[in-house]
Amino acid sequence: MDQLLLNSGFPILSALIFLPLIGAILLLFVKNDAICRNVALLVTAIVAILSIWLIFGFDKNSAQFQFGEHYSWIKTLNINYTIGIDGISILLILMTTFIMPFCVLASWSYIKTRIQSFMVCLLIMETAMIGVFVALDFVLFYVLWEAMLIPMYMLIAIWGGPRKIYASIKFFLYTLSGSILLLVGIIWLYTANNYSFYIPDMMWQDYSLTSQIYLFLAFFLAFAIKVPMFPFHTWLPAAHVEAPTAGSVILASILLKMGTYGFLRFALPITPEATVIMMPYVLWLSIAGIIYGGFTALAQSDMKKLIAYSSVGHMGFVTLGIFVLNINGIEGAILQMVNHGITTGALFLCVGMIYERTHSRELRSATGVGKYMPVYITFLAFFSLSSFGFPGTNSFVGEFMILAGAFQFDTALGKFPYLALAAIPGAVLAAAYMLRMLQKIIWGGTDNPDQSWITDINVREIVTLAPFLFFVFWIGLGPQPFIDLIHTSVIQLLNQFHAHQAEGMAAVSMLLN
């Protein structure tokens, strides 16, 4: 159990995992809708506040897993309840805990039927999501990874839009069939590693190249579908469009990050040589995702679809950053995961607010509301700017670091920077589709529908959006504290990666030349 600093004091991570679950069980016995809402808000808020503790207790100069807890779970198979966090996961956990209360707030008046079940689903989702990011036992990880599907399926299938059945089943089948081979991979690793499911034990081992490639493909299928990378993205627009606002926010902000988190946590350390061999393909798939997402978003008339396709593009940047395998790229990717969570989450909240008023997601029916909703469009404008990486906002920092990493990737090999150049049109496209949406929503044209009846957002909605805006600017103007949190872990990851296979890198440079 090296690499795991056991937590001697209050089991903070377990508290974060189980508080929402306890909340969900309590809610089962509550019949009153108002109490349900308040209890759910209270529980998620407590979890968010508790998680602040992590920032102060976290040792930034250590790449070890911290706040660790370790209990035996299934002794026969050596499965344990082992959890802990490092620099790679801490920001994602904080993002999860902070976004959840706003998901509850966003559903306050949006969800009108079966509120109790809805809140139960949200809370179970929170348990599973936090669990996925902290799990250090592969079975625990897999259990939570799959368990997440049920509440998410329910969120889409019960409270979704008109094509909810199609979207929810597609989401479920796609994600599940992707991760089924991951299960086989996990069991293979278990037999190859002296019957241990402990994730750090599986890292940096000398598996044969063939088995690494198979493992990588299993990982890739599971994680690429979750990200989603082009061409595995087709479930995403459907699920996003049909999900209720809170569901869209959870999907965009947190669920998608699990794919990229999986690449960082598993693919790189467990199959380093295979990663190097597959890297070029993944990189160009990322570029394809960036460009494809951009162009498709440009053509959408449905606001949610537009943002969903923009997610494909943004997540393309993240995978690009991860697979250039240098410090700028990976740090930028982690930061961009958080940025995308904040910005896209907020954009979905904004679309949800319009939808509550006009009952349509069509851009056409939302044109020209700027005059009547000044507060709302202020928020929307800032989030849109952030979405296409305007300097001073959070995404700028992340995308800049990723592009810098991409430049470095080619120049380090002494080549012309094709990769970065190929990605840059994506940034331009993002500006194009975001500004187009913004222009239509604020001003529209001569044929605007009558919007005079529309009311501006209320205090609850402002409270929902304001913290997102705060983080947009905090990360945009002063990203250093965030990067500090992840820096040591990323350095450690890269050092071990390069130490593990200097010869692998040589093979790739031969391959590329």
Report the interface residues with other proteins, using CB under 8 A.
73-77, 139, 142-144, 146-147, 149-150, 153-154, 157-158, 164-165, 168-169, 172-173, 176-177, 180-181, 183-184, 187-188, 190-191
CB of 158 to other proteins, least distance (A): 6
CB of 145 to other proteins, least distance (A): 9
**Which one, of 202, 382, 408, lies nearest residue 321 by Cα?**
408
CB of 465 to other proteins, least distance (A): 30
CB of 130 to other proteins, least distance (A): 15
d(CA 407, CA 255): 29
Identity of the residue, 149 or 380, whose beta carbon is nearer to other proteins in the bound complex: 149
d(CA 426, CA 287): 8
d(CA 166, CA 349): 23
**Which one, of 82, 97, 119, lies nearest residue 50 by Cα?**
97
d(CA 146, CA 168): 15
**Diameter over CA atoms, the chain:** 71
CB of 240 to other proteins, least distance (A): 18
Identity of the residue, 136 or 276, whose beta carbon is nearer to other proteins in the bound complex: 136
CB of 434 to other proteins, least distance (A): 34
Identity of the residue, 148 or 465, whose beta carbon is nearer to other proteins in the bound complex: 148
Q: 71 forms bridges with which residues in the sheet?
A: 81
CB of 132 to other proteins, least distance (A): 12
CA–centroid distance for 277 within its chain: 26
SS3 198: strand
CB of 2 to other proteins, least distance (A): 25
Place of tokens 């009558």: 450
Contacts of 262 (CB under 8 A, 6+ apart): 219, 222, 223, 226
Identity of the residue, 140 or 437, whose beta carbon is nearer to other proteins in the bound complex: 140
SS3 81: strand
d(CA 133, CA 187): 20
Identity of the residue, 41 or 140, whose beta carbon is nearer to other proteins in the bound complex: 140
Helices (DSSP H) in 300-393: which residue ranges? 303-323, 327-358, 374-387
**Which one, of 174, 170, 145, 172, lies nearest residue 266 by Cα?**
145
Identity of the residue, 221 or 320, whose beta carbon is nearer to other proteins in the bound complex: 221
Helices (DSSP H) in 160-208: which residue ranges? 164-192, 199-202
Place of tokens 């506040």: 49
**Which one, of 434, 100, 24, lies nearest residue 255 by Cα?**
100
CB of 211 to other proteins, least distance (A): 10
Identity of the residue, 166 or 284, whose beta carbon is nearer to other proteins in the bound complex: 166
Token pair for residue 155?
Answer: 């969120």
Identity of the residue, 155 or 385, whose beta carbon is nearer to other proteins in the bound complex: 155
Query: Residue length, the chain?
Result: 513
CB of 118 to other proteins, least distance (A): 13
In sequence order, what E strands does 189-323 have? Answer: none
**Which one, of 425, 428, 419, 402, lies nearest residue 332 by Cα?**
402
Identity of the residue, 31 or 359, whose beta carbon is nearer to other proteins in the bound complex: 31
Identity of the residue, 73 or 418, whose beta carbon is nearer to other proteins in the bound complex: 73
Identity of the residue, 76 or 446, whose beta carbon is nearer to other proteins in the bound complex: 76
Q: H or E stretch including 363?
A: none
d(CA 9, CA 401): 37
CB of 34 to other proteins, least distance (A): 20
CB of 478 to other proteins, least distance (A): 41
Q: How far apart are the first and last CA of the chain?
A: 42
Token pair for residue 365?
Answer: 């029916």
Identity of the residue, 26 or 288, whose beta carbon is nearer to other proteins in the bound complex: 26
**Which one, of 306, 285, 293, 473, lies nearest residue 396 by Cα?**
473
